[in-house]
Amino acid sequence: MADGLHRWFWPEGVALCGLAAFAEHDWIRNWIAAHLTAEPQIVHVNDVPPAAAGAATGFTTELKPYVDWVMSAPRAASGAIEHWPGGLWADTMFMTGAFLCRLGRSVGDEALIEEAGRQYLLHAQVLQDEATGLFAHGSHRGETIWCFWGRANAWAALAGVELLEAGGGSAREEIAQRLERQLSALAERQPAHGVWDVLVDGQPETAGILETSAAAGIGAAMLRAGRLKAGQFKTTLSPVITDAGWRAVAGALAYVDDDGYLTRVSAGTILQLVPFGYSVIRSDRPQLYGQGLALTAAAAALEAAQ
């Protein structure tokens, strides 16, 4: 709270999701309840993530305005929810998908999970590279910009795991296949110390620029995927992916400083048209989404260890 957890917006939402995954505290519910008393101001997908934390902590009917907004959000011709006019971003896969999956599980509404699955696939058809399985950050004016940003891959991987944990709906098999391809590709490209460069495909323009929030999010997705039943994947998930998840989480959390803050987190990042645009790392102040992903990673590690 002292570091600015006061807005109903996406960095706070990611932080709250991490906090809710790590431990139950009354003040999380109190924070959400206090904000839900106000008239919701939902104008963008980035206004939805706190509602995912709300769904994870027992709120249901209070979140109906967020369901209504997501179901009528601006869409591309394909039906995919746009992050900005003319652009699909991997961020949207998590920002709306986690909410739909969590609320759908909580109230037993399979239609919400089906919509989350449909959005995952519509985005994957545009953003997932068929040659590697990695996800691009986004598209611009209908053209995919093939920059394989680490945190975009974390958003996509976490969205896929959320879906499979919720059952996956009718598209479960394709979601599992796409997620397995992505996680396998990330494991193949992971350095020995566990933390990928800010662009995960070895892009020369960003070589050696490590970024921790992506490693935390990807590592959490890998460990959570490893705990899913084998039947949720077409084939048995490779132990290599779980091993990579442990390396990613350990590598990322090694950058937590003495005050408990995850350092080497990239700045809040809009879609970049050139690879070097992703090179800005912020260690001068806490980034709430980085803290949330660190807590998500810690929670996934504790669950996997148990």
Residue 91 lies in a domain: yes
Which residues form the domain of 123?
Answer: 10-305
Residue 258 lies in a domain: yes
Residue count of the chain, please give it: 306
Residue 3 lies in a domain: no
174-207, pLDDT tens digit by residue?
A: 999 999 999 999 999 999 999 999 999 999 999 9
Residue 200 lies in a domain: yes
Residue 188 lies in a domain: yes
CATH number of the CATH domain containing 62:
1.50.10.10
Domains: count for the chain:
1
89-145, pLDDT tens digit by residue?
A: 999 999 999 999 999 999 999 999 999 999 999 999 999 999 999 999 999 999 999
Task: Calculate mean pLDDT across residues 68-85.
Answer: 97
Residue 287 lies in a domain: yes
Residue 5 lies in a domain: no
Residue 2 lies in a domain: no
**pTM given for the model:** 0.97
